[in-house]
Structure 1
Amino acid sequence: MQRVRFLSHQAPVHKLGDSQMTLSPKFRLAATKSSLLDPLLELNLSLKGEPLIPGLPDDVALQCLLRLPVNDHSVFRLVCKRWYSLFGSKGQFFTRRKELGFHDPWLFVFAFHKCTGKIEWKVLDLTQFSWHTIPAMPCKDKVSPQGFGCVSISHEGVLFVCGGEVSDVDCPLNLVLKYEVQTNRWTVMKKMSTARSFFASGVIDGMIYVAGGNSSDLFELNSAEVLDPNKGMWRHVANMGTNMASYDTAVLNGKLLVTEGWFWPFYVVPRGQVYDPITDHWENMAIGLREGWTGSSVVIWGHLFVVSEHERTKLKVYDMETDSWDAVDGPPLPEQICKPFCVNSWDGMICVVGQNLHIAVGYIIRMFPRGTSERKYSFSVQWKVVEAPDTLSNLIPSQAQVLFA
């Protein structure tokens, strides 16, 4: 196991962008733009022969500059007017990166202060391993840290936060917020048809599905609906086979898997449902799948992995053919990662965020079948610990999403 230490004086938390967002009581967003961000000015500076980097063609220089770490942008923008134009707006910076096909991973962690309950988003640059902040979510009510549904369209750099509940009154919300990396801003979207908390959520073919959860009268729901992000409209889909709140959710082979989950002690056999958007139909989850789903899940290479909260916090993988679970070779989750934790993944790696926002990055190794009698892959994992700076020592993670920008 590798271990990486980032001390607080070496890795301060930076703002991902100096947001110019202002909020009225109705959540209207207003932004002012500097004249230095005018594309015509950028073109004029280029035509006047002011290169981005002397001695390099602009296209080559741009490829270099777009790789510079975000936390140093405030210094880079002082070099010249053209650098100010590029680094003066995080929106323009990430837009240019997208145009040129850059896809670096960023881990967005929805966390809350263990004493005050104050919620905030912290962002880890998974390339530079530096922490950043983004603007606060525009919530009218004081909300609870738990109960939200968070999903993302990773390669679009877009994050959605749905539902949740008002603090101290157990009142679910139908709130829907969208955050875009390119603009570093939140947008209030059309509300869900039903207010819900502690519900299932997932993205299938660019569509956002929500199902079940707790209702305003504290009863569990069986309703489900889907959002088309391009149209901004919600519509109902088939109801679940049972009323249930969600412990964990995954999207596997184009289907939404919803588990009620194990709770210690194991008094009740967990329930699980599977939704197929092609047929608009729910069915009961396979017995082995739901009974072995004892932790937080990610899908890597079309396989469902679970970081178990019980079996020495080991990683395991589901075998669909036998409806059983196999242990993943390698050590258990490092002891520095304390519950409660949340997980996400990208490109064959799994991120587990624990208390104080310490993170274990698990590198999944897939072994191909060696003989004709072996039909399935085997997997192993190696962990590297990324310790957060002391400034994040009182934060508890609630959700985590990986976005590319």
Structure 2
Amino acid sequence: MQRVRVSSKHSPVFKLGDSQLSLSPKFRVAAIKSHLVDPSSDLELAIKGQPLIPGLPDDVALNCLLRLPVQSHGSCRAVCKRWHLLLGSKERFFSRRKELGLCDPWLFVLTFHKCTGKIQWLVLDLTHFTWHTIPEMPCRDKVCPHGFRCVSVPSEGTLFVCGGMVSDMDCPLDVVLKYEIHKNRWTVMNQMITARSFFASGVIDGMVYVAGGNSADLYELDAAEVLDPVRGCWHPIANMGTNMASYDAAVLDGKLLVTEGWLWPFFVSPRGQVYDPINDNWENMAVGLREGWTGSSVVVYGCLFIVSEHERMKLKVYDGNSDSWDTVEGPPLPEQICKPFSVNSYDSKIYVVGRDLHVAVGQILKVNLEEGHSEKKLSFAVQWHVEDAPMAFSDLTPSSSQVLFA
């Protein structure tokens, strides 16, 4: 059984809506160079003569130590002062990894406690399949976890949490938070133009797009906007042309696909919209695409896959040529993965995080190329295996998941 180290020490964090909302004291301290961060500090110079690993050159030893699972840092930093200096701070650890060009995938999962509703981010190391925590996100105590929209710029190691809803007032938020893995801290970004919850979001060419959702007066929105993460400013884009909240969204072929979801069996045909950032316009989603979108989406091999919440939890893939969905060969989602679940992907693998944070890893395989009328059609299969979560996570439910590289 895996053991998870969770710190019991928490720094105070300003609540959303406070007049002094900026960064928590913990985050402000992280921006100041200390002896754990500054490589030219007196402490590092004082212990420079000590080898990191006796018998190995420091560059080789450093390359080894920077591959240690974060979960093991607590025990490893007790080895000596230099190990403590390197492993005693996640900020320093990930910064040194960046300096050496190390880049591995990490799955960030927004979770909430089933009984208390308390939210927290947990991180799964996709190399060693061990978990660790990050600083608490500065937000109100009573929020609806599903009201947030989370997106990431994986190559930059940044995560954005937008909007949300105060659960005791049904009040949407316009707050935007950014987490940077190399700095291991949250910052408060410029607010969205429109407060919203349960909306569509996606990243296209490094720009963060949001659209639709529920407004402050509980009506559905048609407004959309875009964030330039470098400049930190929001700008309006073309309205959707229809008021709708979003069940799911995906970025495919440089366009943002938005679906409002469905009732099963269908009483009305679900709506869907597609945004083209080059032309700044919206168009109706193809009928087959929106009606077959019956689950959570990911894009693998440039194709849109759905982990269906019906059809025996099978995996489906969209065929744009015929505007239809094909069932992916292989077994359905493993029975250990219970709804609600969150889905993301990296390379050719799909990660489905279920209740209690058990994770199903689906390897997508290209089976063959079938001859069509005029074009070749890709065929896929999936192989699943499950990474069981520690018992400490038995009361946690996932709300969102994002892959970052560091």
> Considering the TM-score relative to the shorter chain, is it more than 0.5?
yes
Shift of 1:219: 0.7
**Could you tell me which residue of structure 1 aligns to residue 21 of structure 2?**
26
SS at match of 2:106: strand
More displaced 10-residue stretch of structure 1: 109-118 or 244-253: 109-118
CA distance 1:372–1:69, shift in 2 (3 Å) = same
Deviation at 1:357, TM superposition (A): 1.1
Deviates more, 1:164-173 or 1:84-93: 84-93
**Which range moved further: 394-403 or 95-104?**
95-104
1:181-200 alignment, distance < 5 Å = 181-200=181-200
Give 1:147 deviation, angstroms.
Answer: 0.9
Which residue of the partner structure matches residue 363 of structure 1? 363
Report the CA distance between 1:83 and its aligned residue: 1.9
Q: Distance in 2 between matches of 1:146 and 1:386?
A: 24
Q: Say if 2:114 and 2:396, in contact at 8 Å, map to a contact too.
A: yes
* Runs of at least 5 residues in structure 2 that lack an aligned partner in the other structure: none
Secondary structure of 1:106's counterpart equals strand
Q: Structure 1 residues 382 and 178, CA, compared in 2 at 3 Å: closer, same or farther?
A: same
Equivalent residue, structure 2, for 1:215: 215
In the TM superposition, what are the counterparts of 1:72-87 in structure 2 within 5 Å? 72-87=72-87
- Give the match for residue 68 of structure 1: 68
Deviation at 1:35, TM superposition (A): 2.2
Map Cα deviations across residues 269-294 of structure 1 (whole Å, 9 max, x no partner): 00000001111011111111111111
Identify if the C-alpha distance between structure 1 residues 241 and 248 changes in structure 2 by more than 3 Å, giving closer, same or farther. Answer: same
Other structure's SS at 2:146 match? coil
| Amino acid in structure 2 at the alignment position of 1:343 | V
After superposing the two structures, state which structure 1 stretch, 102-111 or 210-219, moved more: 102-111
Which segment drifts farther, 152-161 or 36-45?
Answer: 36-45
Structure 1, unaligned runs of 5 or more? 1-6
Q: Percent identity?
A: 67
Distance across 1 between alignment mates of 2:21 and 2:102: 35
The corresponding residue for 1:332 is 332
| Aligned: 1:89 with 2:58 | no
Normalised by the length of structure 2, the TM-score is 0.92
CA RMSD in angstroms, aligned pairs only? 2.1
Which structure's relative contact order is higher, taking Cα pairs within 8 Å and 6+ residues apart?
1
Residue equivalent to 2:313: 313
- 2:388 pairs with 1:393: no
Q: In the aligned structure 2, how far is the partner of 1:140 from the partner of 1:117?
A: 11
- How do 1:371-386 and structure 2 match up within 5 A? 375-386=376-387
- Other-structure match for 1:152: 152
> What does the per-residue CA deviation read over 1:177-228, in whole Å, with 9 as the maximum and x for residues that have no partner?
1111112211111100000000000000000000000001111100000000
Contact 2:297 2:304 in 1 (8 A): yes
Q: Contact 1:27 / 1:138 at 8 angstroms: preserved in 2?
A: no
Residue in 2 aligned with 1:51? Answer: 51
Distance 1:219 1:38 in 2: 50
Q: Which residue of 2 aligns with 1:278?
A: 278
Deviations 1:91-140 (A, max 9, x none): 11101112222222211111111122121112211211112222221114
Q: Distance in 2 between matches of 1:306 and 1:314?
A: 8
- Paired with 1:31 and 1:253, the residues of 2 have a C-alpha distance of 41
Contact 2:370–2:376, Cα closer than 8 Å, also in 1: no
1:177 match: secondary structure: strand
Q: Give the TM-score, by structure 1 length.
A: 0.92
Deviation at 1:312, TM superposition (A): 0.7
One-letter amino acid of the structure 1 residue matched with residue 180 of structure 2: E
Preserved CA contact (<8 Å) 2:4 2:71: no
Q: 2:3 aligns with which of 8, 11, 19?
A: 11
Deviation of the 1:370 alpha carbon: 6.3
| 2:254 equivalent to 1:254 | yes
Note closer, same or farther for the CA distance 1:400–1:191 as it changes in structure 2 (3 Å cut): same
Instruction: Give the C-alpha shift of residue 301 in structure 1.
Output: 1.3
Q: Secondary structure at the match of 2:71?
A: helix
Distance change >3 Å, CA 57–CA 258, structure 1 → 2: same
Give the aligned residue type for 2:298: V
